[in-house]
Structure 1
Amino acid sequence: MRRTRGMRLGLSALLVAGALAGTGAATTASASAGEPVAGEALLTALQQDYGLTAEQAEQRLADEAAATAIEPAARQAAGPALGGSWFDPASGELVVAVTDADQADAVEEAGARATLVRHSEAALDTAKASIDTLADSAGAPDAVASWQVDPRANSVVVNVVEGTESTPEVAAFLDEARAAGPVAVRTVGEAPATFAAGTVGGDPYYTGNVRCSIGFSVHGGFVTAGHCGPQGADVFGWDRSHIGQFQGSSFPGNDYAWVSVGSGWWTEPVVLGWGAVSDQLVRGSAEAPVGASICRSGSTTGWHCGTLLAKNETVNYGNGDLVYELTKTSVCAEGGDSGGSYISGDQAQGVTSGGWGNCSSGGETWYQPLNEILSVYGLTLHTA
């Protein structure tokens, strides 16, 4: 059937929105996704993470708010005897440590619970600063993960990787640290690493004022839609830190591209489930047949599923922009979802090109099959 001009405009609208949605679009998408307000989100997190009832979670939030409100005055009441302060979830109280019992009454009059300790916060801060200087000048072993003032322990806590405490370099560092003041040693499971981020299917990325979505991680980068950016364009991640550059891009005719990954980013064989389902591992790219169920992940509308309707379809996006050999689905999408992941089971299928409709009223979308992208650019899919 010959497509009407109105249909062509509908197709084009999603494509353009996907390519030009910027910060404002990202904010709108977040709000329209139905995220709970901050209080509701915290209540849910407390119940899930701490095993609290709804009533217990509400009480904890109220206690924390009260502790936050009185902390400045309670700390000031301790004066030079201040040994630090913290919230005690068991009692729901703010605890303020003091080195002088005479200051306890003043602290409790301010609404906190006082406890007597040996070392002042000022003394602990000085000891911690000395350890900082030690690490700056002599270096710290990789197995020394971190150090901080811990008012509950009333000492500077040095965290080291379990099993390394007695190694010569760690032992020597700890000896010098102890010379700076009161030090406690704790063990941790592994050394820390920066969390720049892994490239994950469905996550947003930016180039100029364009927001699109990551398709799938490949070794060396990720694949996405060609209309999202030209070859050579710089790409920035969800946190606006630099990821890499478009190394190849083709649109119209095709709608595929690949982006190199660097600047502390790495690739992950994962597609985001956006809370609707658990994040999905990618184990291959075997093509699903027409009629199969298929799901899509994108940075605007998250996770949606539908049916694979047709393959090898030529799509007219208007203004002479034809794209060939696309696959059609009944899955909805909206602006900013362009480039995102289509997956069937654990098998990667393709990257979002365009479509019509939206995720409120429904519609149809097309994706660029993944295996063609891998073949054209000589890429290898990152699989679990």
Structure 2
Amino acid sequence: MSRKHAVATGYVLTITALTLAAVPAGADRRPDVPADPASPLSRASGAPDATGTARVRAAAVVAPPGMLEALQRDLGLTAEQAEERLLNEKRLAPIVERMRTMLGTRFGGAWLRAKTANTLVVSSTSVADIPAIVAAGAQAEVVPRSLTQLADIKAKLDITLPPKPLVSSVRYVDVKRNKVVVLTSEPQSAQNFVQASDVEQNAVVVLPSSEAPQPLYDLIGGAAYYVGVASRCSIGFSVTKGAQTGFVTAGHCGKKGAVTSGFNRVAQGVFQASSFPVDDHAWVAAKPGWTATAAVDNGAGATLPVTGARAAIEGASVCRSGSTSDFHCGLIQQRDASVTYPQGTVFGLTRTSVCAEPGDSGGAFIAIDQAQGVTSGGSGDCGAGGVTYFQPVDEILTAYGLTLKTTAAPTEAPAQSPEACVGYLSLYQDTLAVGQSALQPRGVYYRARQGGLHSGCLNGPAGADFDLELLRWNGSAWRVVASSDGPGPNKKIAYTGTPGRYRFRVTATAGSGPYALAFTAP
């Protein structure tokens, strides 16, 4: 059943290498229609496909209802190709995390190739990593810059390129090019700013673009959730905070204290916190009578289960649910994009080839059964196609201390040692070999919106010596502002700082093994 209410052409949603191998969507209540039987995603063939790459046997994966059909329509795939793509994305995802940990600061990024995503490419700044990458089942590329270096370059350009007058509408790290891309309607002006900045010129490419993202506001009524009398947006994902249930959505949909009503105009909840621009996220606490479910509307009278929030690989398929244009799919293109809307710049968005329209803002992006983020803005529409940006869900959960509602059965918590990290809002786990370092959260950074206390707690493996540092971006480089480097695996940091971008660095000085980093930020 279509829920289209409006169409707009512009709106906010928000390499040199060596190859070796906007409006939130509501809980639209639709007629109870039995879902089509899920299609098993499995392959038993070991024969090579058209690219010459052998298909790998894997356990069956169940496609959520409606996803295969949306992938066929939006990516131009056959039913078999859609099934194979989802299978490959599921199979190759763990390899990326292992490579990210193993390569550490040499990791240059990873992405999927081919129509069915049957090829994973992992890049490194060191030729010596090629055998390990190939042995893990991926193709290797040697690149001049690491992902961390590219993120630092983009952060400098975010400061250099002014939002008024608008010089660049979008900046993002392109791991395939191993460069930072600047999209602009004024290439010469943008190039002048880039040349005047303190960045490696060969690491930046300026591309002419008519892309002008706008927030997905829509004042036309429809089945969704409403802010005030007429403004309509879309629900992202159900969350909890203690005993309170609610949902996450786009920040430009409403300010703190704004009252919402549901698709049926029944009083629904209140915005507890909201950020826009800089970020584009918010969360709404629901009133009694509204049940939080681990599900996403698939636009065909059924729902998709949400079992976790593992970030999809660049090049992987991703689908969006919104109250205007229903359910559409595309590909993850680039991460850590900075988008300048008329209201200001939003940082840390993910760029996709999924279409969207006004009224879809805040709606859910999902990859198979993994929550990815909420719709921010973009350009184009679902008739002609477009580009859409989403705010990653893990940043929203971290910012507000929320827990994603999932269908996964809760597991028994491991016994805590006397020195275990408890009482912190965010938790990240990984494994390090001696001499390696890792940046958290997820190799990027988090943003403190106000001054206050940054508390970090590290639990490393017994018998090892792991160190912990807190770094802050000073406008031109990352500087260590606090550290804990005494003997032993467990460290803590307490630092009172000003608003800005921060990240933790964990280093295995002696010994190897898994660690857990927990932290709370203002």
Contact 2:377 2:390 in 1 (8 A): yes
Residue 255 of structure 2 aligns to which amino acid in structure 1? P
Against the structure 1 CA distance between its residues 8 and 237, is the aligned structure 2 distance closer, same or farther, given a 3 Å change threshold? farther
What is the CA–CA distance in structure 2 between the aligned matches of 1:296 and 1:2, rounded to whole Å?
24
Q: How far off its partner does 1:4 sit? A: 1.9
Task: Find 1:274's aligned residue among 289, 299, 303.
Answer: 299
Alignment partner for residue 218 of structure 2, among 10, 14, 20?
20
Is residue 412 of structure 2 the alignment partner of residue 231 of structure 1? no
Find the counterpart in structure 2 of residue 217 from structure 1.
238
Aligned length: 200
CA shift digits 1:280-300 (9 cap, x unpaired): 000000100110000000000
Deviations 1:234-275, CA, capped at 9 Å, x for gaps: 010000001110000000000000000114111111000111
* Structure 1 unmatched runs, 5+: 27-202
Question: Is the 1:351–1:368 Cα contact (8 Å) retained in structure 2?
Answer: yes
Which contiguous aligned blocks of 4+ residues in structure 1 show a shift greater than 6 angstroms?
5-9
Q: CA offset at residue 22 of structure 1?
A: 2.8
State the distance in 2 between where 1:301 and 1:275 align: 12
CA distances 1:278-325 after superposition (whole Å, capped 9, x unpaired): 410000001001100000000000000000000000001125x10000
Letter in 2 for 1:242: A
The reply to whether residue 380 of structure 1 matches residue 398 of structure 2 is no
The Cα offsets for residues 319-350 of structure 1, whole Å up to 9 and x where unpaired, read as 5x100000000000000000000000100000
C-alpha separation between the residues in 2 aligned to 1:253 and 1:10?
Answer: 17
Aligned AA for 1:344?
Answer: A
- Do the aligned partners of 1:204 and 1:211 also contact (CA within 8 Å) in 2? yes
What aligned pairs does 1:25-40 form with structure 2 within 5 A after superposition?
26=222
Check conservation: 1:280, 1:346, Cα contact below 8 A: yes
Aligned residue runs from structure 1 range 1-384, under 5 A: 1-4=182-185, 10-12=212-214, 15=215, 18-23=216-221, 26=222, 204-208=224-228, 209-219=230-240, 220-275=245-300, 278-319=302-343, 321-384=344-407
Distance in 2 (CA, whole Å) between partners of 1:205 and 1:317 is 23
Q: CA deviation at 1:8?
A: 7.2
Query: d(CA) in 1 for partners of 2:323 and 2:219?
Result: 11
The one-letter amino acid paired with 2:369 is D
Write the deviation string for residues 114-149 of structure 1: whole angstroms up to 9, x where unpaired: xxxxxxxxxxxxxxxxxxxxxxxxxxxxxxxxxxxx
The verdict on how the C-alpha distance between 1:230 and 1:305 changes in structure 2, with shifts beyond 3 A counting, is: same
State the match for 1:51 in structure 2: none
Distance 1:333 1:358 in 2: 6
Q: 1:214 to 1:7 in 2, by over 3 A?
A: farther
Which amino acid in structure 2 is aligned with residue 11 of structure 1? P
Instruction: For 2:183 and 2:313, locate their aligned partners in 1 and report how far apart those are by CA, in whole Å.
Output: 26
Offset at 1:10?
Answer: 3.9
Question: Is the partner of 2:394 in helix, strand or coil?
Answer: helix
Cα deviation for residue 20 of structure 1 reads: 3.4
TM-score normalised over the length of structure 1 = 0.50
Describe the shift of the 1:246–1:8 C-alpha distance in structure 2 as closer, same or farther (beyond 3 A): farther
Distance change (3 Å), C-alpha of 1:360 and 1:378: same
* Structure 2: distance between partners of 1:2 and 1:370: 25
Aligned amino acid, residue 300 of structure 1: T
- 1:203-241 Cα deviation digits (max 9, x unpaired): 721012210000000021000000000000001000000
Q: What percentage of residue pairs aligned between the two structures are identical?
A: 48
Q: Aligned partners of 2:225 and 2:239: how far apart in 1? A: 16
Match of 1:75 in 2: none
In 2, Cα distance between the equivalents of 1:2 and 1:244?
38
Give the whole-Å Cα distance in 1 for the aligned partners of 2:209 and 2:361. Answer: 18
Distance across 1 between alignment mates of 2:264 and 2:380: 29
Give the Cα–Cα distance (whole angstroms) in 2 for the partners of residues 381 and 316 of structure 1.
28
Q: Deviations over 1:48-81 (max 9, x none)?
A: xxxxxxxxxxxxxxxxxxxxxxxxxxxxxxxxxx
CA distance in 2, matches of 1:22, 1:245: 21
Distance 1:2 1:349, change over 3 A: closer
RMSD: 1.8
Q: Separation in 2 of the partners of 1:238 and 1:7?
A: 37
- Which has more strand, going by share of residues? 2
What is the aligned partner in structure 1 of residue 490 from structure 2? none
Query: Is the contact between residue 299 and residue 340 of structure 1 (CA under 8 Å) also seen in structure 2?
Result: yes
CA contact (8 A) 2:183 2:209 kept: no
Indicate how the Cα distance of structure 1 residues 380 and 301 shifts in structure 2: closer, same or farther if over 3 A, else same. Answer: same
- Give the SS at the match of 1:337: coil
Q: CA deviation at 1:7?
A: 6.4
Alpha-carbon separation, structure 2, partners of 1:240 and 1:264: 13
C-alpha offsets along residues 348-380 of structure 1, whole Å, 9 cap, x if unaligned? 000000000000000100000000000110000
Q: Residue type matched to 2:184 in 1?
A: R
Which structure has the greater CA radius of gyration?
Answer: 1
Provide the rounded CA distance (Å) in 1 between the counterparts of 2:328 and 2:304. 13
